[in-house]
Structure 1
Amino acid sequence: MYILNVVEFIRERKEQFHQRNNDFKAKLTPKFRNISELFSDKITKPLSNTLNNPWLSKFSLSESDELAKSDVVVQTPEAEKAYNELLEKLGQETHLGEWFTLEQECINQFAKVTHDEQWIHTEPERAAKESPFKSTIAHGFLTLSLIPKLTDTVNPDNNIYPDARMVINFGLNQVRFPFPVKAGARVRARTKLIELKPMKKSIEVVNEISIEVENSKRLGCVAETVFRLYY
């Protein structure tokens, strides 16, 4: 009998606890809902108004570190004009370079400068016998370093960003070397604009560069380059 009374007591207490918990939630839910709506209204409306600005439409919260330092993005007519022109090319191929022959002499010079003189790069006779490619091959970083030449971005007679007062190489997002480039092969680069970001004092341009090897279906290099254009 005593055990049954204890079990019954616990059951009743448990039911009372659940009932009080439900009553407590019912009283607080409307208050939390009002607070949540108020908070959302205060945050989303100003944010929506800011992001509706066409100059800022490409921002995401994780990418606007520079914007966080100032409430106003510095704009100039030249920068806005350049941004709008580039925006029309987003997702498109913007340049196809000329063929360039990667001679053994060029590979040897790169090997000396970088102190990477492995025989697979610098000894044609040995490579013909022992290398699976039956030829010396260019260093991957040599192929990568040719991007300015292959994309024609260092040609003073053909400035692809003519209105920018300064162009800064900001780095690379990623680089891959799908297939080696043999000595004597001809290569060229295709440029595709894949991302555009208005910054506080510049425009960030991300291009995908695909380096083709003549008579090969596989690419010698694929890289995402990042530039900052200052106006």
Structure 2
Amino acid sequence: MPRTAHGIADLLSLTGADLGHSSWLEITQERVNTFADATDDHQWIHVDVERAKRGPFGGPIAHGYLTLSLLIPLWSELLGVQDVGLAVNYGLNKVRFPAPVPAGSKIRAHGSVAAVTEIKGGAELVVDLSVEIDGGAKPACVAQAVYRFYS
């Protein structure tokens, strides 16, 4: 169950808050293939299972941008925001993909609030996010996301 913020005033108090971890999410080959179809990125390391087994990662891997896009549902498990009129994914300050996500593995997100700034009509949160791979030594993705919430 995510931490819940009630309104802008509550959001403004979150600087430095550790938001904990999301649940684990399995990255199936079907999900990888669907993402490849949606983005027209059919590189063999993602979709050709047999060739990928002989490739540099020992099997197919998820697209980095698939991992990044999954921050949306994983983020929703970290912080619920109520009593605001509008929430906007404002962008990213930084994104890196330190380790590949093998198809069939599980990932989860960890988040902490780096900064909260009052803006006209609301608040801007800067959140440090890390996508962990179950059993992995390095994160699959590290990102600093910016979210805006308006009254």
Q: Same fold (TM over 0.5)?
A: yes
* CA distances 1:17-74 after superposition (whole Å, capped 9, x unpaired): xxxxxxxxxxxxxxxxxxxxxxxxxxxxxxxxxxxxxxxxxxxxxxxxxxxxxxxxxx
Structure showing the higher strand proportion among its residues: 2
Deviation (angstroms), 1:145:
0.3
Secondary structure of the equivalent of 2:81? coil
Q: Determine the structure 1 residue equivalent to 2:113.
A: 193
* CA distances 1:189-225 after superposition (whole Å, capped 9, x unpaired): 0111001110111200111110000001100001111
Q: Determine the structure 2 residue equivalent to 1:114.
A: 39
| Aligned pairs for 1:26-175 within 5 A | 79=8, 81-83=9-11, 86-87=12-13, 89-129=14-54, 131-152=55-76, 160-175=80-95
Q: Determine the structure 2 residue equivalent to 1:212.
A: 132
Kindly provide the amino acid, as one letter, of the partner of residue 70 in structure 2.
L
Contact 1:96 / 1:151 at 8 angstroms: preserved in 2? no
Q: Distance in 2 between matches of 1:183 and 1:98?
A: 18
Deviation (angstroms), 1:150:
1.3
Kindly provide the amino acid, as one letter, of the partner of residue 97 in structure 1.
S
User: Stretches of 4+ moved more than 4 A in 1?
Assistant: none
Q: Distance in 2 between matches of 1:159 and 1:124?
A: 36
Secondary structure of the equivalent of 2:103? coil
Q: Distance in 2 between matches of 1:133 and 1:163?
A: 45
Q: Which runs of 5+ in 1 are unaligned?
A: 1-77
Kindly provide the amino acid, as one letter, of the partner of residue 138 in structure 1.
A
Q: 1:222 to 1:141 in 2, by over 3 A?
A: same
Kindly provide the amino acid, as one letter, of the partner of residue 110 in structure 2.
R
Which structure: larger Rg? 1
Secondary structure of the equivalent of 2:60? coil
Secondary structure of the equivalent of 1:161? strand
How many residues align? The count is 145
Q: Determine the structure 2 residue equivalent to 1:228.
A: 148
Q: 1:216 to 1:98 in 2, by over 3 A?
A: same
* CA distances 1:171-196 after superposition (whole Å, capped 9, x unpaired): 11110000110000000001110011
Q: Determine the structure 2 residue equivalent to 1:34.
A: none
Contact 1:96 / 1:191 at 8 angstroms: preserved in 2? yes
Deviation (angstroms), 1:82:
2.2
Select 1:178's aligned residue among 95, 98, 105.
Answer: 98
Structure showing the higher helix proportion among its residues: 1
